[in-house]
Amino acid sequence: MAATSAAPKLSDAPVPKGGIVQSVHDSLVMARRNLIRMARIPEMVIFGMIQPVMFVLLFAYVFGGAIGVPGAGGDKTAYREFMMAGIFAQTVTFATAGAGAGIADDMHKGLIDRFRSLPMARGAVLTGRTLADLVQTALVMVVMIVCALIVGWRIHDGLIKALAGLGLLLLLGYAFSWIGALIGLSVRTPEAATSGGLIWLFPLTFLSNAFVPTDSLPTFLQHVADWNPFSATVQACRELFGNQLAPVPSDAWPMQHPAWASLLYSLLIIVIFRTLSVRKYRSAA
């Protein structure tokens, strides 16, 4: 009698072991997979470095001479130090579009369905993607720091504080990558994810203290800028880098305690959008 094989049942699918150790292991495996993919497509990293370098040069040499900085005493070159915290923060948050596009591309190719059939932690695919994007953002930051030093930016309060500022920037970028993950899971194409990841970032970055002092804004927009999570990180970095030339005119709590505000904002964004992204991942098709 010929042997017959039973068709596999859904209940026979491998089940993840669970646990923190398993989740960390699976996330690192997925992060390695995405880093290998980036290494095989170097233009992704190269083009990601060109845009922030262009912003540094444009704001330093085109707009720098026309924008005054409080406490600079008419020194036109002071704007180059004032703007760099804003440029750094803008760069790490713009990585949101890349995270969303990458996840949307995996969705479009059906890879997400394959990953969900494997015995791995629920959020490992998304965590691995965001960790890989964090590594790419760190590489871009290194290039930007070199460019900033060339145009005249300096740190004045020591290396430890400067590293703390860079840590807040990377934490903000990691938090925003989870927003990109949710966008990537919610749209149908990578193109839509790229557009959806950028369209809301422009008002967020420009309605802030990144490029102009907030006291030059209308009263209503001053309050928006003062409580903007982006502004908190920018202000924290200015203080940690030693680039704040004059006291902050605002009495808003995030502007008076920017380092704590930046940390709390970033952690809150991670908790909220990681939860929403994992839920979306379970039901996405």
pLDDT digits (tens, 9 = 90+) for 150-183: 888 889 888 999 999 999 999 999 999 999 999 9
Q: What is the Cα–Cα distance from 194 to 284, expressed in whole angstroms?
A: 18
Quote the pTM value. Answer: 0.86
- For residue 2, tell me if it sits in a domain: no
| Residue 228 counted as domain residue | yes
pLDDT tens digits, 46-94: 877 888 888 888 888 777 666 666 655 556 667 888 888 999 999 999 8
Instruction: Give the count of domains, the chain.
Output: 1
Q: What is the average pLDDT value for the chain, to the nearest integer?
A: 83
Nearest-10 Cα torsion for 253, 257, 263, 269:
20
Rounded CA-CA distance 132/274 in Å is: 15
What pLDDT, on a 0 to 100 scale, did the predictor assign at position 16? 52
For 24, phi and psi rounded to 5 degrees? -65, -45
* Structural contact between residues 254 and 231, judged by C-beta atoms closer than 8 angstroms: yes
Label residue 261 by pLDDT band (50, 70, 90): very high
Is residue 54 in a domain? yes
* Confidence class for position 19, pLDDT limits 50, 70, 90: confident
Rounded-to-integer distance, Cα 258 and Cα 255, Å: 5
Q: Single out the residue of 236, 234, 229 nearest to residue 264, CA to CA.
A: 229
Does position 5 have pLDDT exceeding 90, yes or no?
Answer: no
18 conformational bin, left if phi > 0, alpha if psi -120 to 50, beta if neither: left
Phi then psi for residue 105, to 5 deg, are -65, -40
Instruction: Give me the amino acid identity at 121.
Output: A
Q: Is residue 1 part of a domain?
A: no
Residue 276 within any structural domain of the chain:
yes
What are the Cα distances from residue 239, in Å, to 62, 68, 105, 201, 236?
25, 18, 39, 24, 5
Return the amino acid letter for 10: L
Residue 3 covered by a domain: no
Task: Please report whether residue 85 resides in a domain.
Answer: yes
- Per-residue pLDDT at 4 exceeds 50: no
Q: From 27, 87, 81, 100, select the one nearest 53 (Cα to Cα).
A: 87
Q: Is 261 within a domain?
A: yes
Residue 175 has a pLDDT of 95
Res. 232 pLDDT band, cuts 50 70 90: very high
Quick one: what percent of the chain has pLDDT higher than 70? 88
Give residue 159's domain range: 17-283
Please check the confidence at residue 240 and state whether its pLDDT lies above 90.
yes
